[in-house]
Chains A and B, each alone.
Chain A
């Protein structure tokens, strides 16, 4: 994010503050009192490297541990004594003299990186974060040419216990960004410092396996991890193997948020819509059908809007909570087990897709569902764990087989030698590739509820909805409140993205103070566009905004913008499912949740 001086968490504090004069590298500048040396330096184009520091205003994620010691600069006092201070947390004061370019400061910074590398596996060649690693980048930036401090290194086994997140503590540089994201933004409290001194690393309490913890697998820790201490579990080889198997009919679905982010992995501007190229790439990779999770999203709305209307008309539990997001589902199961009857019972869109693929699609195309492999490409790490949930896998004939992230898809495209940028556009295959604008916006926070409103409006009022764009449901704030007039009824809607915001909403429900009829919750700030499986934003949240704008643009480009108008969906109900929210739909498209312990 392009950052102006004085922006940041203390913005409000600055407002009443005076201007002061400081000197950085002999250059005098006037800044607002209270800004950090790091912020002041940026103003005059002096770059001070950082590693642990993270200041994501829109997420309220401020990692100020000042623990990596990579941003040390020299502070020279009135008596000409100098000492090293961390630029990221040291506040400017009037008359302050800072040098960032002395041999003392440069050596201190370089040695900090050397020390970190001396306790790092240094296996960059095979590391999943190769060329994406912030520590690696710093080593280059700070001209590290040797690691003089050879000695003992951390030697912990990798945590491969979950289906979603891999924790490789040997790569942990103890910046604690993940801890801040997990505890302060997501309020899950899974990750925290373990051990003392040299043995310190981050993990769940008592270093229990991730799978035994209450981790939601939202992946926000993975998004902020500067190294590969936290990554997703990689499943690309499983996909290649399935494609290679002549007996298997391998079909792929892509989530709405992939198409606005995938291009970034190939050097394209954030927010570039690459739907057509993506489809072409998937076809070239050898998938037997390239479909769209948006189809599943349209289907979800058919069910969810019906459920909402049912609950409204029959005075059943309100508010209704959307449950497309598996991390959010796991969050409520662990953190609010007494409220698990509140969310909609719909399966998530990609799981609905899997079900339809192995039933309706199999039947229609006369393929044995046992030979169908459904691959989901998701912006999400939690979807990997979701696809393995017992209640969703007990029948192998209606599930999703493999889930890979946007990043993994990028890696596969590269592996396949496909020159992504120069690919022509293609269309999704039919019938499961027919979609609407309403399902595209599932990819951004507020989109699911907007899609539901578009449908519910027409179903409740019987009138045609002229303007499908509900501006009041859009934006980047993590917690939003809006009302939509539907006939006589004023529908009160809440939208929360980020689990910390979800917690606020759930606490209101628990205390009986909730004033909403329907609430959309997404675990990742900003929704799926900011998902844990998306290309790394490296602290640049402007990327997320651009992805959001692209999502709405994709919606505007669509001819059909209401889920229930998707002709293939209409056909699906007519030929196969019967009535929305009916018996067959219930059996195939709905699920249940489980109260879980909080660990």
Chain B
């Protein structure tokens, strides 16, 4: 950390950079220099603060003042008023929409109050391009502890007992995955970080890699040690240039300090990391497709088993974890599994990062303990619905999830509760819809996405998603009959049951859940329904075709 008295933290995440935060930082530096305050104040570009709606964000430490929507022209006021004169720039403070009060401190804001940051602990706090800042906040302590004080079994045990589950979507217990990979007899093993984030509107992994790349590097080394891999791969989409460049810088710095490479912490353990670029196909987030893509093959999934833990990268046992999963590992090792498992619900421990998007006031990245209700996320943290409109539904789990309606807003969210109400955790996309959104169109939007992103390998996914989309199109253009609704329903279950991989197995979920909750909106489009007689109700149990394929 800098020895200067004041640190001016300017968000350097992709969102704020797009709103000129780079220029904000440059102007701040120039003006500080012009005022002769270089010894006093230093400008630091950090990772994402999460409050993207209000970006670019500038935070002054140690004064703990949080400025929002800072433009390049505001740099002068920040320096002249705040740095030189020690007065807050009132007009740049955040105004809480509920009570119209200006708030200066981050922790007083509704957006941050209920958050608990574990995976995002360093985002917005450190300069991601300076390894010493990471180390100053306890970075690489976990790796040191694992390598010098813990056996491989103990590391696996710690992760297993923490109850950490995969944050990429499936929710498979991470410790169990490590244990399985560890138990494979093989000279060569790999650990892969899945940074192929692709859900529409989701950017948690990008933000972690941009804001705190070392947390992932450290965790991969810990994982490598635990399972017996000396080689790690980060599979990242080429559309994340900033994340890639920060990751590259971080890997270089870790190598220079011997935190990657031979005999780390003078132990017998050697480990290094390679980066592989994906071309941005959603399906490559599926681990077998990801591995095929890493090998230079077409990014398509393979039938499992064998699982990557048994036969993965070039046939060797391979452990694939998601970025956010990895980001949780170092604190688990340093603070212990007991601490981690004290957070969250019975079967879902820790926190989860969500990307809030759609018709919500506070668009951004939030991290909350498992068990927080949707209502808290949407109305307290998210600040409610834009323009004072009525909440209609929220889609979790991205294109693989389903819609959740008002009646379920008080469900404490975790992996299992979301499944039980017809959606899923997914990687953490959360898109809020208001009363003006038509749910058939929403379903169509998601189907268009999965149809375009389906790899084409299996017939159910390749042709099925196309036909689902076509039927939805027919419905929304007012040309469909009740028979089309039946066909849509039946095909949805077929694609769900018969597709090869998770992408298309879950692709019909938006249709199934919108049909369940918003049947009337489907009926409203149907031409052979006598609309004056009311719009009927969806009763899945009475439908024969439904029973035929429903699991």
Chain A residues with a Cβ under 8 A of chain B: 64-70, 72, 81-84, 86, 89, 91, 103-104, 107-108, 111-112, 115-116, 118-119, 148-149, 151-152, 173-174, 192-193, 195-200
Decide: A115 near B467, CB < 8 A? Known: A72-B498, A104-B549, A148-B487: yes
Write out, one digit per residue, whether chain B residues 517-551 have a CB within 8 A of any chain A CB (1) or not (0).
Answer: 00000000000000000000000000000001101
Q: Decide if A72 touches B497 in the complex (CB within 8 Å).
A: yes
Contact A200 B462 (CB under 8 A): yes
B459 touches A108 (CB 8 A): no
Point out the residue from B459, B491, B494, B548 that lies within 8 Å of A67, measured CB to CB: B459
26 A/B residue pairs, CB under 8 Å, sorted by A: A65-B457, A66-B500, A69-B459, A69-B499, A70-B459, A72-B497, A82-B551, A89-B303, A104-B548, A107-B549, A108-B497, A108-B498, A115-B464, A115-B494, A116-B463, A118-B467, A119-B466, A151-B470, A174-B462, A193-B300, A193-B457, A196-B281, A196-B453, A196-B456, A199-B456, A200-B456
Besides A67-B457, A104-B497, A199-B456, 9 other CB < 8 A contacts?
A69-B459, A70-B459, A104-B548, A115-B494, A149-B487, A192-B298, A196-B454, A197-B452, A198-B451
State A26–B545 Cα separation when bound (angstroms): 25
**CB of A174, distance to nearest CB on chain B (Å):** 7
- A64-B303, A107-B494 are contacts. A196–B455 as well, Cβ < 8 Å? yes
- In the complex, the answer to whether B498 meets A197 with C-beta atoms within 8 Å is no
Pair B463/A149 contact, Cβ less than 8 Å: yes
Task: Give chain A nearest CB distance to B490 CB in angstroms.
Answer: 8
The 8 closest A-B pairs by CB, nearest first: A200-B456, A151-B470, A149-B467, A115-B463, A198-B466, A84-B497, A197-B454, A66-B303
B305 at the A/B interface (Cβ < 8 Å)? yes
Q: Which residues of B sit under 8 angstroms from A119, Cβ to Cβ? A: 463, 466
Considering the chains assembled together, what is the distance between the CA atoms of A104 and B497 in angstroms? 10
User: Whole-angstrom distance between the alpha carbons of A200 and B500 in the complex?
Assistant: 16
Tell me, in angstroms, the Cα distance from A112 to B498 when the chains sit together.
8
| In the complex, residue of chain A having the shortest beta-carbon distance to the beta carbon of B283 | A196
| Pairwise interchain contact A112-B303, C-beta atoms closer than 8 A | no
Looking at the assembled complex, report how far the CB atom of B307 sits from the nearest CB atom of chain A, in whole angstroms.
13
Closest to A103 in B: B548
B458 an interface residue at 8 Å Cβ cutoff? yes
A111-B494 in contact (CB<8A): yes
Q: How far is the CA of A66 from the CA of B300 in the complex (A)?
A: 12
Query: B464: which A residues are within 8 A, CB to CB?
Result: 115
- On whether A198 and B463 interact (CB within 8 A), knowing A65-B457, A108-B498, A152-B470, the answer reads yes
Is B460 part of the binding interface, using a Cβ–Cβ cutoff of 8 Å? yes
Give the residues in chain B near A84, CB-CB below 8 Å. Answer: 497-498
Interface check B351, CB cutoff 8 A: no
> 1/0 contact trace for B466-508 toward A, CB 8 Å?
1100100000000000000001001100100111100000000
When C-beta atoms are compared, the residue in chain B nearest to A82 turns out to be B551
Inter-subunit contact B500/A69 (CB<8 Å): yes
A198 to B549, CA, bound (A): 23
CA distance A68 to B303 in the complex (A): 12
- Name the residue of chain A whose CB is nearest to the CB of B454: A197
Given contacts A103-B548, A104-B549, A111-B494, contact A197 B487 (CB under 8 A): no
B395 within 8 Å of A (CB atoms): no
Does the CB pair A116–B470 fall under 8 Å? no
By size class, the interface of chain B is 20 to 34
Residues from chain B with Cβ under 8 Å of A192 in the complex? 298
Q: Which of A65, A89, A118 contacts B463 (CB 8 A)?
A: A118
Residues of B within 8 A of A67 (CB): 457-459, 500
Q: Which of B438-455 contact A (CB under 8 A)?
A: 451-455
CB distance from B89 to the nearest CB of A (A): 50
Smallest Cβ distance from B450 to chain A, in angstroms? 9
B515 to chain A, nearest CB (A): 18
Shortest CB distance B520–A (Å): 24
Chain B residues with a Cβ under 8 A of chain A? 281, 298, 300, 303, 305, 451-460, 462-467, 470, 487, 490-491, 494, 497-500, 548-549, 551
Closest to B463 in A: A115
Residues of B contacting A104 with CB < 8 Å?
Answer: 497, 548-549
A64 to B500, CA, bound (A): 12
Q: Are A69 and B458 in contact (CB-based, < 8 A)?
A: yes
B residues in contact with A86, CB < 8 Å:
303, 500
Q: Which residues of A contact B305 (CB under 8 A)?
A: 91
B487's nearest neighbour on chain A, judged by CB, is A148
A70 vs B470: C-alpha distance when bound (angstroms): 22
- B551 engages A197 (CB within 8 Å): no
Chain A hits for B487, CB < 8 A: 148-149
Q: Please report the C-alpha to C-alpha distance between residue A104 and residue B491 in the assembled complex, in whole angstroms.
A: 12
Q: How far is the CB of A456 from chain B (nearest CB, A)?
A: 45
Interface centre among A70, A82, A107 (most CB of B within 10 A): A107
- A104 CA / B494 CA spacing, docked (Å): 9
Minimum Cβ distance to chain B for residue A92 (Å): 12
Tell me which of A81, A91, A151, A152 has the highest count of chain B C-beta atoms within 10 A of its own C-beta: A151
The reply to whether B467 and A174 form a contact with Cβ atoms under 8 Å apart is no
CA distance A296 to B166 in the complex (A): 68
Whether A81 lies near B457 (C-beta < 8 A) is: no
> Smallest Cβ distance from B140 to chain A, in angstroms?
41
A151-B466 in contact given A111-B491, A196-B456 (Cβ < 8 Å)? yes
B456 in contact with A195 (CB, 8 Å)? yes
- Give every chain A residue within 8 A of B452 (Cβ-Cβ): 196-197
Q: Using Cβ atoms and an 8 Å threshold, which residues of chain A touch B548?
A: 103-104, 107
Does B303 contact A69, Cβ atoms closer than 8 Å? no
* Chain B residue nearest to A88 in the complex (CB): B303
Q: Which B residues are CB-close (under 8 A) to A199?
A: 456
Shortest beta-carbon distance from A541 to chain B in Å: 24
CB distance from A547 to the nearest CB of B (A): 33
With known contacts A108-B494, A151-B466, A193-B298, A68–B456 Cβ distance under 8 A: no
Nearest B residue to A198 by beta-carbon distance?
B466
A115/B456 contact (C-beta < 8 A), A64-B303, A108-B497 known: no
Contact of A173 among B459, B494, B498, B549 (CB under 8 A): B459
B298-A112 in contact (CB<8A)? no
Out of B454, B460, B498, B499, which one reaches A198, CB within 8 Å? Answer: B454
Instruction: Decide if B498 touches A69 in the complex (CB within 8 Å).
Output: yes
Q: Once the chains bind, are B491 and A66 in contact (CB under 8 Å)?
A: no
Residue of B nearest to A116 (CB): B459
Cβ–Cβ contact B455 & A111, under 8 A? no
Complex CA gap A72/B494 in Å reads: 11
State which of B456, B460, B491, B497 has its C-beta within 8 Å of the C-beta of A193.
B456
A348 to B220, CA, bound (A): 60
**Cβ contact within 8 Å between B491 and A174:** no
